[in-house]
Structure 1
Amino acid sequence: MPADRHTISVVIPTLGRETLASCQAALAKQTRPPDEVIVVLDRERRGVAWGRNEGIARSTGDVIAFADDDGIPPADWLERLVSALDRHDAAVAGGTFQETDPLLDAIRRRTPLPTMEQLDPGGLVGNTGNILFRRDCLMVCEQADGYVFNPAFTGAGEDWELIWRLRKRGARMVYVPNPVTHLRRATGIQHVRHSFQRGLAIATLFRVMRADTSGVVPQDSLLWGEAGKKTNPRWLKAGWLKLVGPFARKEFHDARHFWWFWLGEKCQAAGFLWGMWRGIWACSGTHRSQGSRSTATSTTERRP
């Protein structure tokens, strides 16, 4: 029986990448071995939210960790996460990535993260390639919302949406500075495509946030809040930074990395605008459909 007295399940959603074997090998070398590893192969490309929900349904652990199929956890990954979870009596413990791709590494270095373990007021914990949850807090979400990870998020953003719902329920979160090595490689074109998809996810998250009345947000954003509290969107500053800036050339040693990052920000803005328009169109279509059904019903009711 491990000293922590937990049963740990590790869930890995995958499309079948070759890097999956490296992730599994790293899990086999953990100083605190997992009690079970559940690999969910998404043959029909239903999205990571589906894969993670499927993994939760198959798991038996009282704590559930999530890894990505292109991430290599350090040997003490589970040991440090579960130790921090218990020490802080937290519901969630997590960290971030150490990028191996030069472009992604240059972009990630723009936002330095703490080097000390600490309770997270918002914005540090949420990356589902390096995170561990108490099962009971996930089950509360499933019972209340009908799902753990929101299936409306098919490409990105499902992790932060879940963190937001947990924060609304008062979940304590602890940041553990023990990064997972990320094997993802990204050409400039791949990066801008991913940025567009991320923009779509931000639009979905924005609509969810604006409709909510709790006043709680998962992280600081020009679109929905700061210091963990909801604020009005700061459209002017957001537009300036995304459509014109950011003016961060000095933060990059390689000029090519900066220009791909700069172009990615424009693509993210385009994805956000497309996602917002698509959401508005979908809502208007729903209203028209409901109006048609109401008319048909009323006509039927008037029959003798």
Structure 2
Amino acid sequence: MATLTEPGGDAFVPIRCRTWAVESVDTEVLRPNAEGRLLVLATADGWPRAVVDVRAGSAEQAEELVRAAVTASTVRPPSGFVAGGAARTPVSVVVCTLGREPRLVDTVAALLGQTHAELELVVVDNDPASGRVPALLAGLDDPRLRVIDEPRRGLSAARNAGLAAVRHQVVAFTDDDAVPAADWVAALASVFDADPAVECVTGLVLPTEVATRAQLFFEEAGGFDKGLSAVHWHRDGAGTLLGTAPGLEGLAFPFDGGFGSGNNMAFRVAGLRARGGFDEALGAGSPTRGGEDLDAFQSVYLAGGTLVYWPAALVRHHHRSDHDGLVDQLHGYGVGMAAVVTKRFFSSPATAAGVLRRLPGGLRLLLDARSAKNEGKSAQFPADATRAERRGYLIGPAAYLRARRGLRRAGAAR
């Protein structure tokens, strides 16, 4: 694997990211890079058991390390998991795009190659005047694929257009820079199959590659990974028919990002529509830069619904590859997170009181170098990226109020 020279003459050897089942006899995928490094998601009996940062001199040594990590892992599938089970629930998948991401083609191919039989794919063109999406998808002729236009810019507006268009009772969302595993939809559908009380399912998100130092730093900042244990959240402490464990409730719960991420999420359509879909004052393309997915998760939880995090549903994601992209992304996350908290604060007196109670813990999580949020950062992690995220938290409240005013003015003008 080639060594990349980054700005400033800094060399970085790209790190392969692989999924490997311990039952497999194919160890070639475990060959490390020139520095002996490899990132492996190891599975056993169909369930993810360990994420291993391998340091080895050969594929054979890497195999030994991965097998040892799986043996030592305490992760076990929940009682409701059936390896290779056929899911019945039909699923619609929505991907929103401006057509600027050429890897949309790979995303669509991965979705049309899913093992799940009952599937439709809705691609929402959020910049139809550009003509980029039809050009990218030219030549694709699959009856399961529809492209619809949503000229109103913004990820939430595009997702709402997709939500309005879907034909099945469960809708899943991923992004145009993500590559779902072949059984992603089946894994999500199996949760809805097993428990009719589940309203929302999120899944495991790992990098497609770590080809630059910026992508490595994004993982150090927490990435999208929420762990390998299947868990659930419900306000009344109710369990699920899947045998999942109660999910972690951290210092800022439920006003944090612990439920999952928007590039790997699914909802029952009726419930999501009843809750108004995605808040168009939030999300990429709005002043708030993000947070529409966190808001949707929190809305399910606060309304008394059940959310499940199911790591068997795997999506690989292409992280921003350069330093400026990393800084911008973390800044946007800060703005979006603070915007969602602001929305919650103004939603009701009881919720405002909950926000205030959790504010000290949230600040500790954000600012303390030893907190769960920051402890993974190496000494080389760029300080300007951390500062950019914290600045985002400071401007998020005003960004949300500005976005709300903009929506009201747009509504009055129509």
Quickly name the TM-score band, shorter chain normalised: 0.7 to 0.9
Q: Residue 95 of structure 2 aligns with which residue? A: 12
Instruction: Judging by fraction of residues, say which structure has more strand.
Output: 2
Q: Residue 229 of structure 2 aligns with which residue? A: 116
For 1:112 and 1:22, the matched residues in 2 are separated by: 22
Alpha-carbon offset, residue 213 of structure 1: 3.0
Is structure 2 residue 341 aligned with structure 1 residue 206?
yes
Q: Residue 136 of structure 1 aligns with which residue? A: 270
Equivalent pair of 1:168/1:216 in contact (CA under 8 Å): no
Q: Residue 301 of structure 1 aligns with which residue? A: none
Supply the AA of the counterpart residue of 1:208. Answer: K
CA shift in 2, pair 1:152/1:266, >3 Å? same
Correspondent of 1:164 among 295, 298, 302: 298
**Percent of pairs with identical residues:** 25
Q: Residue 48 of structure 1 aligns with which residue? A: 155
What is the RMSD computed on CA atoms of the aligned residues? 3.2
- Structure 2: gaps of 5 or more residues: 1-84, 128-150, 210-214, 234-246, 248-253, 406-414
Once the two structures are overlaid, the 10-residue window that deviates more, 97-106 or 18-27, is 97-106
Higher RCO by CA contacts (8 Å cutoff, separation 6 or greater) = 1
Alpha-carbon offset, residue 9 of structure 1: 0.7
Task: Give the TM-score, by structure 1 length.
Answer: 0.74
Alpha-carbon offset, residue 240 of structure 1: 9.1
DSSP 3-state at the match of 1:233 = helix
Alpha-carbon offset, residue 193 of structure 1: 1.5
Equivalent pair of 2:88/2:118 in contact (CA under 8 Å): no
For 1:277 and 1:152, the matched residues in 2 are separated by: 12
What do residues 9-32 of structure 1 show as CA deviations (whole Å, max 9, x unaligned)? 100001211111111111122111
DSSP 3-state at the match of 1:92 = strand
What do residues 48-99 of structure 1 show as CA deviations (whole Å, max 9, x unaligned)? 1111101111111111010111111111111111112222331111113102
Q: Residue 392 of structure 2 aligns with which residue? A: 271
Is structure 2 residue 108 aligned with structure 1 residue 37?
no
DSSP 3-state at the match of 2:384 = helix
For 1:76 and 1:157, the matched residues in 2 are separated by: 27
Instruction: Judging by fraction of residues, say which structure has more helix.
Output: 1
Once the two structures are overlaid, the 10-residue window that deviates more, 19-28 or 117-126, is 117-126
DSSP 3-state at the match of 1:173 = strand
For 1:135 and 1:93, the matched residues in 2 are separated by: 12
CA shift in 2, pair 1:124/1:204, >3 Å? closer
Correspondent of 1:69 among 158, 161, 176: 176
DSSP 3-state at the match of 1:179 = strand
Equivalent pair of 1:94/1:132 in contact (CA under 8 Å): yes
CA shift in 2, pair 1:240/1:82, >3 Å? closer
Equivalent pair of 1:167/1:216 in contact (CA under 8 Å): no
Equivalent pair of 2:335/2:399 in contact (CA under 8 Å): no
Summarize the alignment of residues 219-234 of structure 1 with structure 2, pairs less than 5 Å apart.
231-234=357-360
DSSP 3-state at the match of 2:93 = strand
For 1:252 and 1:162, the matched residues in 2 are separated by: 28
Once the two structures are overlaid, the 10-residue window that deviates more, 41-50 or 89-98, is 41-50
Number of residue-to-residue matches in the alignment = 261
Alpha-carbon offset, residue 282 of structure 1: 9.0
Q: Residue 80 of structure 1 aligns with which residue? A: 187
Alpha-carbon offset, residue 125 of structure 1: 3.0
For 2:219 and 2:393, the matched residues in 1 are separated by: 24
